[in-house]
Amino acid sequence: MDFGLVLPSLGDDSTLAGIEAAIDLAAKHGFTDVWTTDHLLVGHDAAEDYGRLYEALTTLAWAAARNETLRLGASVVVVPMREPVLLAKQLATVDALSRGRLIAGFGVGWNRHEFENVGARSRFEVRGAYLEETINLCRHLWSGNPAPFEGRFARFDDFVFGPLPDQGAQLPIWVGARDERALRRVGRLADGYHSSATSPSSYAPRIPVIRAAAEAAGRPMPRLSARVRVDLGAGPESFYTLHGSAEEVAAGIREYAALGVDHLALAFPPREPAALAEAMERFATQVRPLV
């Protein structure tokens, strides 16, 4: 099992010091990657969680310079709120500057109010189609293909695109999804599936849907990943969390592994450096030996 760390880049108590510490702690404890969270302009109804949030792609570019070995992921970019060519350019640039360490996490979003706030109201009802086209557009540009691109939302025929990402068109795209139609999209188009706040029991029935779509498209099964909150010693919470004793947390991780999930992006509640260091040290010394 590979472990990634969700950076403490969101919330009223998020700070540069906390993000710096998280990156250093991820490297210290042998995590393979670090992850940012994406929202742009939520309303007051979502302000507690996402009102203060360091922008996802800018933070990844900064993190690439902070550490030269960790892979970098977005969990996940709300694609339909962004202009597709600019997004492809930003991701290609981060991958080139990081020497090929980027994982592009994509999703359709859920917050209608936020779409309205950023001038993307018309995309909300077609956000699945917009995501699919953006995946194709990114791979077209990242490959260096000079042919015209003709889509529903974007088209261009006279263009030059560079620099290419170091990973080229193989830059991995992991897609977040919940409903069956979106899960089929993962199988048809994505390199990985990246769930959020999903228990192993809820994750399990999604896998056959993804696998069937991948097989029908003649593609390999996408890699399986999950973003999970970890609160060692805590009781049950309102959304899925790996909680309780070290053995209980380890048992939850083993449940994911038994499904074929081989990557977990872990989110620890503390954002202050010392408290985050303590939480990660407990995980490293008490939980990992039991997995």
Which among 117, 120, 31, 113 has a CA at the least distance from the CA of 73?
31
Contact 276, 270 (CB under 8 A): yes
* pLDDT tens digits for range 156-211: 999 999 999 999 999 999 999 999 999 999 999 999 999 999 999 999 999 999 99
Q: Which residues contact 5 (CB under 8 A, 6 or more apart)?
A: 22, 25, 26, 31, 33, 34, 35, 265, 266, 268, 280
* pLDDT tens digits for range 28-84: 999 999 999 999 999 999 998 899 999 999 999 999 999 999 999 999 999 999 999
Contact 141, 165 (CB under 8 A): no
Q: How high is the pLDDT of residue 201?
A: 97
Distance of CA 241 to the CA centre of its chain: 17
Q: Helix, strand, coil: what percent of the chain each, to 5?
A: 45, 20, 35
Q: How high is the pLDDT of residue 85?
A: 98
Which amino acid is it at 87?
A: L
End-to-end CA distance of the chain: 9
Q: How high is the pLDDT of residue 104?
A: 98
* pLDDT tens digits for range 111-167: 999 999 999 999 999 999 999 999 999 999 999 999 999 999 999 999 999 999 999
* pLDDT tens digits for range 216-258: 999 999 999 999 999 998 888 878 999 999 999 999 999 999 9
The length of the chain in residues reads 291
Evaluate the CA torsion angle 281, 230, 112, 172 in order and state its sign.
positive
| Element of type H or E holding 25 | helix 16-28
**Architecture of the domain whose range is 2-223+259-265:** Alpha-Beta Barrel (3.20)
* pLDDT tens digits for range 85-119: 999 999 999 999 999 999 999 999 999 999 999 99
Angle among Cα 169, 104, 81 to the nearest 5 degrees reads 110
In this prediction the pTM is 0.96
The DSSP line for 90-124 is: HHHHHHHHTTS-EEEEEE----HHHHHHTT-GGGG
